[in-house]
Amino acid sequence: MSIALKQVFNKDKTFRPKRKFEPGTQRFELHKRAQASLNSGVDLKAAVQLPSGEDQNDWVAVHVVDFFNRINLIYGTICEFCTERTCPVMSGGPKYEYRWQDDMKYKKPTALPAPQYMNLLMDWIEVQINNEDIFPTSVGVPFPKNFLQICKKILCRLFRVFVHVYIHHFDRIILMGAEAHVNTCYKHFYYFVTELNLIDRKELEPLKEMTTRMCH
């Protein structure tokens, strides 16, 4: 990554503090292994496969947190150009519109401007990954029985950030010289969710043509 690009991505553009893993724990070691996947020259398709002898929930947990941090950062770099005026609806082109529902304030799917949707989404994910009952940090504390279902929903919604950024703001990513970095993050995400079957194929449709060119 170029120095200029590092400066773009090192600015404090994330909406919220990063969730970290405690050094010395097994999950921290898995986290380091997952992060190393973004180094140049790594075969991402092989890197996302569950390491032999490792617990799938641990592997998914570190990736969900890592993807949240990375995608949050990517959106943070273009968020000043994603406004209620430019993006009055959270969409991925004319065919796809995403409505927000969280069973709290928004009990029914509700059309919202993209920046409002993104803020609600990042808040919603942050609450879950910081909930010890869902993402336990203590060794030996089990994951909840519905852990994978929760992660599937988080990853599905994070994918929508990629959809919106690629379709509506990719010109800005190119202007910043961040195209290669964002593409690598996307490929890593795509290979991971398809390797472990964590996103319904129909959710991947909005970026299908681009993904075919990039990942196959």
- Binding site: residue ranges? 82, 87, 164, 169
Binding-site residue positions for Zn(2+): 82, 87, 164, 169
One-letter amino acid for residue 17 of the chain: P
One-letter amino acid for residue 66 of the chain: D
How many angstroms separate the CA atoms of 31 and 178, rounded? Answer: 23
- The tokens for 125 are 């994910």
How many angstroms separate the CA atoms of 212 and 216, rounded? Answer: 5
Give alpha helix (H) positions in the chain.
3-10, 26-36, 44-47, 56-78, 114-129, 147-168, 170-175, 179-195, 208-215
How many angstroms separate the CA atoms of 61 and 135, rounded? Answer: 7
How many angstroms separate the CA atoms of 190 and 135, rounded? Answer: 22
How many angstroms separate the CA atoms of 197 and 146, rounded? Answer: 15
How many angstroms separate the CA atoms of 166 and 184, rounded? Answer: 13
Nearest to 35 by CA among 52, 48, 24, 45: 48
